[in-house]
Structure 1
Amino acid sequence: MRWAPLVLSLLLSATATTVGASRSFAHPDRIREKLNQRKLKAAPASDHHEVLSRAVVKPQFLNSNTSRFAVNGSAIPDVDFDVGESYAGTLPISSDPKEQSSLFWWFFPSTNPAAKKEILIWLNGGPGCSSLEGLLQENGPFVWQYGTFKPVANPWGWNSLTNVIWVEQPVGTGFSQGKVTAQNEEDVAAQFLGFWKNFIDTFSMQGYKVYIAGESYAGLYCPYIASAMLDKKDNTYYNMSGLLIYDPVIAKDEIQEPIPVLQFTQYWAGLFPFNDTFKADLEVRDKKCGYTDYVEKYLVYPPRGPAPSKLPGTDASGQTLDDCWGIYNDIFNAILLLNPCFDIYQVATTCPLLWDVLGFPGSMFYLPTGAKIYFDRPEVKKAIHAPNITWTTCADGDVFVKGRDRSDPSNVRALPHVIDKTQNVIIAHGALDMVLLANGTLLGIQNMTWGGKLGFQHRPTEPFYVPYNVDLTTTEVLAAGGVFGTTHTERGLTYVGIDLSGHMVPQYAPSAAYRNLEFLLGRVSCMNCTVPFTTDKSAPQSTQPLGLGTAPQGWSTGSKTCKARRSAPVSRVRGFTKERPDA
């Protein structure tokens, strides 16, 4: 999720008040040796992708209804290989012939035989940030990461597993046009369902299983849309079958930002090398606000009971005190002085600031002289049937009436409803994200009732194993393998804490996200086992004991001795909603 430029400028101009468990790596030297050998022998990624594309003799979805949306896979600007069959364009948000509002989308069918009769929807957050960011830099069939020379084929593209559509929504996001009328998430969901029925009819996909995935502010979008689909009780169009949300907004802002942020900086002390005076000041303010005490009381397993509606650090009317919100803001401003290239989406990032074709290489907008934003280029718009309007990663205007989303957090009703009905929901979180902090997400889970109980009854401790992928990884898109975090499942909800990943998990940890998707789709039955990827079945896997999970997790008691195990939650600055091209 990218922050709107206004929020960034305000943050950057503000002045701070005061200047385990062991892993199991199976023969890493041999793996490294195999990688080196393969680099010398392997054909370029583009050649490999072209061979795969030529194997598809007949387009799957090309007909008289869809031909106007067909994209020439060999004519995507700067992409020097055929991306395969795809369709892009706009469709209205209702069946009313006078409807003026429409959503833009890009659909990539899958050649995977297991993908028959299913489709996954990907949504970025914001609110108002484009899902084309997800396509281009996270889980699309080709990727163009910041600091890299050109777009390359993505072996971790989600269309390798299933049919995927990236949708720009709500109205006012990216190329999606019309009058902004949504006042809450129920309105957003209703508009999306109208669009979705039109899409299904256009591509004759009635009866397909529907999965929804997204990140950041999509922690609101996705559960509300999924819940609305379930309420329709219409499997012809809305056969909702599972939900996956990364680093999501699921609870109140304070719970996911200022309440756990001090502990986050303490856990990652080497990345936040503040002087003693500043650290002491933060600790005094944190104690006065009651934040650490709140986490120690409510981030426990099982929960002691529902958390009070009135949060710590608030006045008599329930408004958060400026000095308490200021803890989060002051940490951000202080670390920018020490690390001018600090990236709130991945806090281990340092200088130099790398050019990003979407304009957001980190916490700030950056457009070098002569550079252009990829999706705002006329030739790109033409190639994907986009309207000839100015495209920005995140909307300059509001996507909710008067800029306010009047919805309850998704953990109140929408998210538990989807868990109970599908028994197939994954919430995953990157350990290096300071936009939405991991302990904030866990606090949101522990104060949510589903399956007749409040929160997880047991602390997440199982190892999250990402299969080794020597034959799948390319030098252009390297990805991890081994024990890469912590996972836990109860009553239809799975939590995954992911190591070495920032806010956009499919971007920072693509192989981990690929495994998450396999689990969501039912292709594998476990994420704490050494089963290989379904698309790389011959890759050798670890034969050693995996031990416990490794990602920073919430602690299970209020003991002061557990302080070293703390991390943190979500991110929106008071009075503003900040998100990146969600990102």
Structure 2
Amino acid sequence: MQQLITIQLLICLTLASTAQDDLVKSDDLKEYTKGVFDFKGQMYSGYLKAIDDDKTYFHYYFMTSTFEDQDISEQNTPVLLWLNGGPGCSSLQGAVKENGPFVFKEGTAEFQENIWGWTKFAHMLYLESPAKVGYSYGDAHVNDDTVAIQNLRALQDFFQRFPEYQTKDFFISGESYAGIYIPLLANQILLHNQLHPNNIINLKGIMIGNGCTHPTECSKVADIYPIHTIEFFGRQGFLSEEQYQFAQHLQNSNKCSNLHQLHQECYDFLDEVIDQYYYSPLVFLMNPYNVYGYCYNYKPELQHRKYDPMLKRFKRKKQLNDDDEEFGYCTDGIGMDVVFKDPKWKLITHIKSESPEWDVCTGDKEFIYKKFEQQSYYIYESLIKSKKIRIMHFSGDVDSVVPITGTLYWIQLLQNELQLSTTENWRAWYVPGEKIINEQQNAGNVFSIEGLQFVSVRNAGHMVPTDRRKEAYYMIKYFILDRKLPNKQQSVFLQ
């Protein structure tokens, strides 16, 4: 008996030591950021085992809550996992561009405080998944299913390192191709909980922004002719009336409906639209991720997001495999590119020599990802019918990469197929404004069906927490609290 106690004590000490080894010294952070990164919580940076081969590890940041939001008590503060998409793009974008406590100033490598950081109401875990993404390393021959299994394994390792968070409410959020990662991971967690009732992950809900879901959105065939992006351009007035009517004609005639048997007119029309906005001498420098947003680094000498798989649909089809294509990626990646490649930053955050050179989206030739055409739409029936988790999809309404038009399409399709009733009609939701008078500000719209809530965020792009931080803060907090988003009258009383 004494021997067993000794062994258990050694295991606990080992786990505590491992977590402690990952702790990033606050003084080092403060010095590196010239006093800006004065974080009141604790930050950890390390590696989680993704495969039991001792060769494949996912890098993570873990930032503990500062407990500053009075609506959520310290005892009830949840753990929230954040995943970016790609596939192949780093989730550290979320930490330093979207919802972390400190983010980069636009167009610079300088940090500033994010007053709407989610660490005020949650313990934030950022996971770079799969291998070869960001600082993660190991076996990178993966697909949608294997990534879900590996993400679950990494989570198990996380809770072994930080057992004090095991019983906390657990939520998953993310965007883009995380619309595939998150539902499949949620399903794996529910299966794990059934098999291991004494060692469950306390999953309460998932929140997905501008997320790939239906096969018509982000599959390989969908990239060939992005019907929802074409529809979005038409609705936003980026196509002439003649072009929009022709796009409707192509769709209604079924020439572009079967993505496996597209008519040549579909290819020709798409190239016309792409040339109009990205290649012609009179090109409108449109940022695909926010069509009304600023376009950074158009055709820069050092291209950011060069390998971003989400932007294939914005290249001429004859140039899809052209590595030298000078396409303007527009998104602001300067800060990440400078800091995450800095040897001093890597030393402070315990980055291993096995890790690849950091890039926002991996271009590693060993990264082989197989996307399944079924995407994640098929899993929603079982997730909803399980009644074990809550689900929210949110859309920035000026994103052309995974536009709101596609999300509304598949939600209506799902509602009809499963005969789900509407539990909340389409309405506006509000956040406090910046003025003393007329404080209420329309933040977007919301409606709910059985088992799923949809929220639009007004004038936000693909990365909602980057464009509309306040709105994202309230939206996520209210979902965690299982409250309805405030209407105009209720928003007056928000803090």
Both proteins in one fold, TM over 0.5 = yes
The correspondence for 1:385, drawn from 340, 346, 350, is 350
The correspondence for 1:225, drawn from 185, 192, 197, is 185
* Percent of residue pairs identical: 24
Amino acid at match of 1:211: F
In structure 1, the partner of 2:149 is 190
Cα–Cα, structure 1 residues 66 and 463, in superposed 2: closer, same or farther, change >3 Å? Answer: same
Cα–Cα, structure 1 residues 213 and 453, in superposed 2: closer, same or farther, change >3 Å? Answer: same
- Per-residue CA deviations over 1:68-101 (Å, capped at 9, x if unaligned) read 000122323335232231101112114x4x4210
- Per-residue CA deviations over 1:103-137 (Å, capped at 9, x if unaligned) read 00000111326253621100000001000011110
- Deviation for aligned residue 1:321: 3.7
Is the partner of 1:229 in helix, strand or coil?
A: helix
Q: What does 1:242-261 align with in structure 2 at a 5 Å threshold?
A: 242-253=205-216, 258-261=226-229
Q: What does 1:252-271 align with in structure 2 at a 5 Å threshold?
A: 252-253=215-216, 258-269=226-237
Is the partner of 2:387 in helix, strand or coil?
A: helix
Cα–Cα, structure 1 residues 360 and 100, in superposed 2: closer, same or farther, change >3 Å? Answer: closer
Is the partner of 1:422 in helix, strand or coil?
A: coil
CA distance in structure 2 between the partners assigned to 1:266 and 1:325 by the alignment: 17
- Deviation for aligned residue 1:197: 0.7
The correspondence for 2:24, drawn from 59, 62, 71, is 71
Indicate yes or no: 2:385 matched with 1:422: no
In structure 1, the partner of 2:7 is none
The correspondence for 1:92, drawn from 49, 65, 75, is 49
Cα–Cα, structure 1 residues 456 and 320, in superposed 2: closer, same or farther, change >3 Å? Answer: farther
Is the partner of 1:64 in helix, strand or coil?
A: helix
CA distance in structure 2 between the partners assigned to 1:175 and 1:368 by the alignment: 16
- Deviation for aligned residue 1:397: 3.0
Q: What does 1:159-198 align with in structure 2 at a 5 Å threshold?
A: 159-183=119-143, 185-198=144-157
The correspondence for 2:274, drawn from 332, 345, 361, is 332
In structure 1, the partner of 2:261 is 319
Cα–Cα, structure 1 residues 407 and 366, in superposed 2: closer, same or farther, change >3 Å? Answer: closer
Amino acid at match of 2:349: I
In structure 2, the partner of 1:516 is 475
Indicate yes or no: 2:252 matched with 1:290: yes
**Contiguous gaps of at least 5 residues in structure 2:** 1-14, 307-326
Amino acid at match of 2:387: K
CA distance in structure 2 between the partners assigned to 1:319 and 1:260 by the alignment: 17
- Deviation for aligned residue 1:265: 2.5
The correspondence for 1:280, drawn from 220, 242, 252, is 242
Is the partner of 2:345 in helix, strand or coil?
A: helix
- Deviation for aligned residue 1:264: 2.3
Whether contact under 8 Å (1:211, 1:240) holds in the other structure is yes
- Range with greater deviation from structure 2 (212-221 or 149-158): 149-158
Indicate yes or no: 2:394 matched with 1:431: no
Is the partner of 2:85 in helix, strand or coil?
A: coil
In structure 1, the partner of 2:379 is 413
Q: What does 1:126-137 align with in structure 2 at a 5 Å threshold?
A: 126-137=86-97
CA distance in structure 1 between the partners assigned to 2:412 and 2:277 by the alignment: 30
Whether contact under 8 Å (1:346, 1:433) holds in the other structure is yes
- Per-residue CA deviations over 1:408-449 (Å, capped at 9, x if unaligned) read 221212475157433511101011100011111111112225
- Deviation for aligned residue 1:186: 2.0
**Contiguous gaps of at least 5 residues in structure 1:** 1-61, 292-310, 472-479, 540-583
Cα–Cα, structure 1 residues 500 and 202, in superposed 2: closer, same or farther, change >3 Å? Answer: same
Amino acid at match of 1:333: D
Taking structure 2 as the reference length, the TM-score comes to 0.78
The answer to which structure has the higher helix fraction is 2
CA distance in structure 2 between the partners assigned to 1:65 and 1:538 by the alignment: 41
CA distance in structure 2 between the partners assigned to 1:123 and 1:368 by the alignment: 17
The correspondence for 1:397, drawn from 345, 359, 364, is 364
Cα–Cα, structure 1 residues 258 and 456, in superposed 2: closer, same or farther, change >3 Å? Answer: farther
Amino acid at match of 1:384: T
Is the partner of 1:80 in helix, strand or coil?
A: coil
CA distance in structure 2 between the partners assigned to 1:383 and 1:358 by the alignment: 27
Whether contact under 8 Å (2:63, 2:123) holds in the other structure is yes
Q: What does 1:484-499 align with in structure 2 at a 5 Å threshold?
A: 484-499=443-458
Cα–Cα, structure 1 residues 417 and 367, in superposed 2: closer, same or farther, change >3 Å? Answer: closer
In structure 1, the partner of 2:321 is none
Cα–Cα, structure 1 residues 467 and 109, in superposed 2: closer, same or farther, change >3 Å? Answer: same
In structure 1, the partner of 2:12 is none
- Deviation for aligned residue 1:470: 6.8
- CA-based RMSD of the aligned residues comes to 3.6
Is the partner of 2:61 in helix, strand or coil?
A: strand
CA distance in structure 1 between the partners assigned to 2:99 and 2:418 by the alignment: 34
In structure 2, the partner of 1:106 is 61
In structure 1, the partner of 2:413 is 447
In structure 1, the partner of 2:39 is 83
Whether contact under 8 Å (1:425, 1:492) holds in the other structure is yes
Is the partner of 1:103 in helix, strand or coil?
A: strand
Cα–Cα, structure 1 residues 503 and 239, in superposed 2: closer, same or farther, change >3 Å? Answer: same
- Per-residue CA deviations over 1:41-62 (Å, capped at 9, x if unaligned) read xxxxxxxxxxxxxxxxxxxxx9
Indicate yes or no: 2:158 matched with 1:199: yes
CA distance in structure 1 between the partners assigned to 2:301 and 2:479 by the alignment: 31
Cα–Cα, structure 1 residues 470 and 142, in superposed 2: closer, same or farther, change >3 Å? Answer: farther
Whether contact under 8 Å (2:131, 2:139) holds in the other structure is yes
In structure 2, the partner of 1:344 is 288
Taking structure 1 as the reference length, the TM-score comes to 0.67
Greater RCO (CA < 8 Å, at least 6 residues apart): 1
Is the partner of 1:288 in helix, strand or coil?
A: helix
Cα–Cα, structure 1 residues 341 and 287, in superposed 2: closer, same or farther, change >3 Å? Answer: same
Cα–Cα, structure 1 residues 396 and 352, in superposed 2: closer, same or farther, change >3 Å? Answer: closer
CA distance in structure 2 between the partners assigned to 1:525 and 1:100 by the alignment: 45
- Deviation for aligned residue 1:312: 5.6
- Deviation for aligned residue 1:494: 0.8
The correspondence for 2:341, drawn from 353, 356, 376, is 376
CA distance in structure 2 between the partners assigned to 1:258 and 1:514 by the alignment: 30
Whether contact under 8 Å (1:247, 1:441) holds in the other structure is yes
